[in-house]
Structure 1
């Protein structure tokens, strides 16, 4: 009887195991996703470069004569006009030297005039055989010597006049002058003491560095779209947009062999309420309107794996992983250079739970 009960228990256990083995695993439910249809559209993207505000003209102001600073005729940081007096170097010595040179010139000219009159008189007398030829020769020689003295006196006066002129230092162009490096009473040396720095402030220039690999594309953009006002947009350090657009000015003559970049310079008007200041850091956004329609998808639809990008293409209710090659971006949109065609349906949201050949349910 005991053996019979154990036999029945074993049969029941085997029967139970058989039922468990025959059951199929539960089906994986479709993954809910949202999709987007690949389309072509005209695409405009931009590249942003760090830039530095620089003046188109900037010079250090030196003294061309030596002496004490006797006048400073501006306020630090003020806007000055071309020809406006800035500094005055003690001019008493230079004025005296000029007056002396002028007097010397007058004396030389008077002596030359007297000798010229002698030459004229002796010439008439010689023609009448009333004076010896030697007397005329002496007069002609004295007149030539006086003429040389006049030329020397003129050169001395010009030199003295230049020094007197340089004792007043004038603004070389319109611009903003900095903080004076000397004060009243300071002794300045000719050509070596920097008194100040002046820089032009309207228009203002902005320099940025362009990678040598981007030069051909940049040149193409300039040729095709250089007339567009918004080709260059500036953003200030607080990320606000500068109200005036930039215009291409020039690029440097050569690529820097150390950095592999070339300097590009643009200019912009600087008459706004918050003007650009030399040395300020800004960002330069360069537009690059692509020619013709481009295949465009949302950037969030692309998955990066090992430096490559993929999307999930929907076919009926199954997705297939497709490798793509991306181009330039503009905000949340990106150009697809290869791997998709207009009309393809791709997964936009719900990518995290997908793999190749996943079954999906489109929301």
Structure 2
């Protein structure tokens, strides 16, 4: 008979044990209560400023090129061997300065031969003149024939033609002797010499060097047809024409180093082409720039402009108009769109798509793309902390201290004369303190006409 365990022994099957463990876990979880909610997101700290409304002239910004008034290739007018070079490569020369010397001995010999021919023909002329006079008397007395008289008369006339030709040959030989010395035809800066002493120079073929005029110098630029029509319409309304002496059209010019687009140089428009280019629908204009320089060793002053330089040109199109300007650092981008982050009355930030206009130093003109939500001078625009802004999210704005906000400081006075406008740089977009937020000290926002400390 098999052995039976006692009745009071506790026996657990595998299924019962697993169920017991599950019930224990459920009862333990119910006793903990609900999980606490996550903490609210931190509010971003940003710095804001208000746009400024100013009156500025309407401009068109185009690119152009600097070009010399005169460009002369120096070539020899005779063939010969180079004997002397009078200049240093790249130096400034005045009109009439000696440049090259060519061996003049062959041409001096030709001049002497031409002079000798003249003297020989002159002697023959004196002899023939005497003979004509003598035979004229003899023919009258019947002592000589008319044929002999006619023969001497014809020889005298032939001598006159030969003498005129010999004198022309002498002048040609004298010119060739003068051409052995090559001088500067214009004032300007000379390039490097292409040939050294001892080389053969071919007449009217060999380019020895090039001279370009430096002062004054020109800037050429193209204007599209709609802009030209607008300019001419404004000129007619103003009862004046372009480039008149009474009131010249003045454009502002900047070079590649003019990163802030201040256009510090002034140029007077003195040429407008007589026709448009049908391929590009543009017309060429030219401005005249003063380009003083000095080679005085005590106070050298190189020229500012060189032919071939790239230039930016700002052309006035009309009278001053009111525009809304903001610091350029306030303009953000969303793919191919330009946006401003505007803080509402409830400190909630929203993005406004804008169209940017001309730059005034470190400030830039803007206009709302959507006319239903225009920008105004009462708006608060984020100038620092753009990377922390999110559409529809609250922010903690701190107003930038605005001192010496003179709208006239933004205005570029209409030329002439026109002074360059330099606006102070707004504070750089520096990173704000990390979360949790801490108090932000308001920093002054440079404004039109204010100098950055």
- Establish whether TM, by shorter chain, passes 0.5: yes
Tell me how far 1:78 sits from its aligned partner: 4.0
> Contact 1:248–1:267 at 8 Å: present in 2 too?
no
Corresponding residue of 1:332: 362
Tell me how far 1:154 sits from its aligned partner: 1.8
2:379 pairs with 340, 345, 349, which one? Answer: 345
The structure-2 alpha-carbon separation of the partners of 1:292 and 1:226, relative to structure 1 and needing over 3 Å to count, comes to farther
The structure-2 alpha-carbon separation of the partners of 1:362 and 1:156, relative to structure 1 and needing over 3 Å to count, comes to closer
**CA offsets, 1:237-296, max 9 Å, x none?**
999x999755556578876969x9969665332315341388677553434567222111
Tell me how far 1:41 sits from its aligned partner: 0.6
Structure 1 residue 231 and structure 2 residue 252: aligned?
yes
The structure-2 alpha-carbon separation of the partners of 1:269 and 1:32, relative to structure 1 and needing over 3 Å to count, comes to closer
Greater RCO (CA < 8 Å, at least 6 residues apart): 1
SS at match of 1:154: helix
Answer 1 or 2: which has greater strand percent: 1
The structure-2 alpha-carbon separation of the partners of 1:190 and 1:316, relative to structure 1 and needing over 3 Å to count, comes to closer
Matches within 5 A, 1:89-104: 89-104=102-117
Deviates more, 1:289-298 or 1:243-252: 243-252
Tell me how far 1:325 sits from its aligned partner: 1.9
SS at match of 2:77: coil
> Contact 2:263–2:314 at 8 Å: present in 1 too?
no
1:298 pairs with 315, 327, 331, which one? Answer: 327
Structure 1 residue 358 and structure 2 residue 371: aligned?
no
Corresponding residue of 1:57: 70
Tell me how far 1:201 sits from its aligned partner: 4.8
Write the distance in 2 (CA, Å) between the matches of 1:183 and 1:300: 57
Write the distance in 2 (CA, Å) between the matches of 1:164 and 1:135: 43
The structure-2 alpha-carbon separation of the partners of 1:309 and 1:111, relative to structure 1 and needing over 3 Å to count, comes to same
Corresponding residue of 1:152: 165
Tell me how far 1:320 sits from its aligned partner: 4.2
TM (normalized to structure 1)?
0.71
Corresponding residue of 1:310: 339
**Structure 2: any 5+ residue segments left out of the alignment?**
1-22, 236-241, 295-299, 399-453
Structure 1 residue 83 and structure 2 residue 113: aligned?
no
RMSD (CA atoms): 4.8
Deviates more, 1:321-330 or 1:70-79: 70-79
Write the distance in 2 (CA, Å) between the matches of 1:170 and 1:28: 81
> Contact 2:62–2:221 at 8 Å: present in 1 too?
no
Write the distance in 2 (CA, Å) between the matches of 1:75 and 1:306: 55
Answer 1 or 2: which has greater helix percent: 1
Matches within 5 A, 1:183-262: 183-194=196-207, 196-203=208-215, 205=217, 216=228, 223=242, 228=250, 231-234=252-255, 246-248=267-269
**Structure 1: any 5+ residue segments left out of the alignment?**
1-5
The structure-2 alpha-carbon separation of the partners of 1:192 and 1:342, relative to structure 1 and needing over 3 Å to count, comes to same
SS at match of 1:310: strand
Q: How many residues align?
A: 346
> Contact 1:55–1:199 at 8 Å: present in 2 too?
no
TM (normalized to structure 2)?
0.59
